[in-house]
Amino acid sequence: MVPQQGAVVKLDALAFAYPGGPAMRFDLLVPASEIVALMGPSGSGKSTLLNLIAGFERPDSGQVLIGSVDVTRLPPFKRPVSMVFQENNLFSHLTVEQNVGLGRSPTLRLSDGDRAAVSEAIARTGLAGKEQRLPRQLSGGERQRVALARVLVRRQPVLLLDEPFASLGPALRDEMLDLVAELHRDQQMTVIMATHDPRDAERLSNRLLFIENGTIAADGATSSFLAGQGPAAFARYLGERKRLR
């Protein structure tokens, strides 16, 4: 596959609040092709941050830039972004092939070139031979592979992952993280991944953002965060996670 470049993601004084919710504010610069992990307690704003970049939420003020383009006012389908959710990434009545094909054409009218790209992506994600299966005939890990195959055929410069592997077991999880790393080597997209598991961050990202109370509370190298050099709040958050487990 032709290597392609990621795009810079920049959030400039981005302000947002859910109706009746607390004010959130984000400032962020992610260089092209970087992989960043977002960590923080539930409800801290990780998903909101991803939704703002993808365009599912409109900010009250501030700007979202992808590449050098201001996308703040653009609807989600005009933004050069792919997103993978924890669940429900697939349409349950469509086959693996169709689900991936949607990445090329939202009406499923595929050219021969599209079909070739689809079957290549399916093979690349280790799903060869399962093209005609329905999502319910797949395991949880395989379903997320289909979602990643769709990311591949979309070839967008930005990939947002919203706790995509949270419902998978540890071994499967590592496999999936390695797959994301491979895809990143191929396509060089900018990756922003929300997760609760420090091992996800450790395995995939060099940089970690700690989100708390609707803002980026700390920003640094993943290794130093996990070596205990992050802020006290981060240590507390990790401690709670460990005790819960």
Partner 1 sequence: MTASFPERGRITAGVLALAALGILVGGAFAGLGQEAIQSWRGAFSAFDSYLLRVARFTLLQAGLSTILSVLPAIFVARALARHPRFFGRGFILQLFAVPLALPGIVAALGVLALLGRAGFLAPLLSSLSGDTWQGIYGLSGILVAHVFFNLPLAARLLLASLEAVPADQWKLATQLGMGAGATFRLIEWPALRAALPGVAALVFMVCAVSFTIVLTLGGGPRATTLEVAIYQALRFDFDLARAIALTLVQVALTAAIVLVLSRLGASINADASLPAAPRRSVFPRPGETAFNVSVILLALVFVGGPIAATVIAGLGADLARLAGERAVHGATMTSLLLASLSAFLCLLLSFALVAARRALEMARGGGRAGGMERLTDTGASMVLIVPPIVIGAGWFILLRRFGDVFAFAPLMVVTVNAAMALPFTMRAIRPAYDAASARHEKLCLALGISGWTRLRLVDWPALRRPAATGLAFAMALSLGDLGVIALFGSDRVKTLPYLLFERMGSYRTADAAGLALFLGVLCLGLMFLATHWGKEKS
Q: Which is nearer to partner 1, 94 or 221 (CB)?
A: 94
Q: Which is nearer to partner 1, 89 or 187 (CB)?
A: 89
Distant-in-sequence contacts of 16-21, Cβ < 8 A, 24+ apart: 16/48, 16/52, 16/57, 16/59, 16/60, 17/60, 18/48
Rounded to a whole number of angstroms, the minimum distance from the CB of residue 78 to partner 1 is 8
- The contacts of residue 202 (CB under 8 Å, 6+ apart) are 222, 223, 226
Structure token pair of residue 93: 């009545």
Q: Which is nearer to partner 1, 40 or 80 (CB)?
A: 80
Q: Which is nearer to partner 1, 150 or 173 (CB)?
A: 150
Q: Which is nearer to partner 1, 164 or 198 (CB)?
A: 164
Rounded to a whole number of angstroms, the minimum distance from the CB of residue 193 to partner 1 is 16
Q: Helix or strand or coil: residue 218?
A: strand
DSSP 19-70: TTSPPEEEEEEE-TT-EEEEE--TTSSHHHHHHHHHTSS--SEEEEEETTEE
Rounded to a whole number of angstroms, the minimum distance from the CB of residue 106 to partner 1 is 4
Cβ burial 205-217 (10 Å sphere, 16+ → b, else e) = bebbbbbbebebb
Rounded to a whole number of angstroms, the minimum distance from the CB of residue 188 to partner 1 is 20
Q: Which is nearer to partner 1, 153 or 208 (CB)?
A: 153
DSSP 138-197: S-HHHHHHHHHHHHHHHT-SEEEEESTTTTS-HHHHHHHHHHHHHHHHHH--EEEEE-S-
The rounded Cα 12 to chain-centroid distance in angstroms is: 20
Q: Which residue has the tokens 């598991």?
A: 197
Binding region for partner 1 (CB under 8 A): 18, 51, 54-57, 75-79, 81-83, 85, 87-89, 91-94, 102-103, 106-108
Rounded to a whole number of angstroms, the minimum distance from the CB of residue 77 to partner 1 is 4
Q: Which is nearer to partner 1, 23 or 108 (CB)?
A: 108
Rounded to a whole number of angstroms, the minimum distance from the CB of residue 194 to partner 1 is 14
Q: Helix or strand or coil: residue 211?
A: strand
Rounded to a whole number of angstroms, the minimum distance from the CB of residue 95 to partner 1 is 12
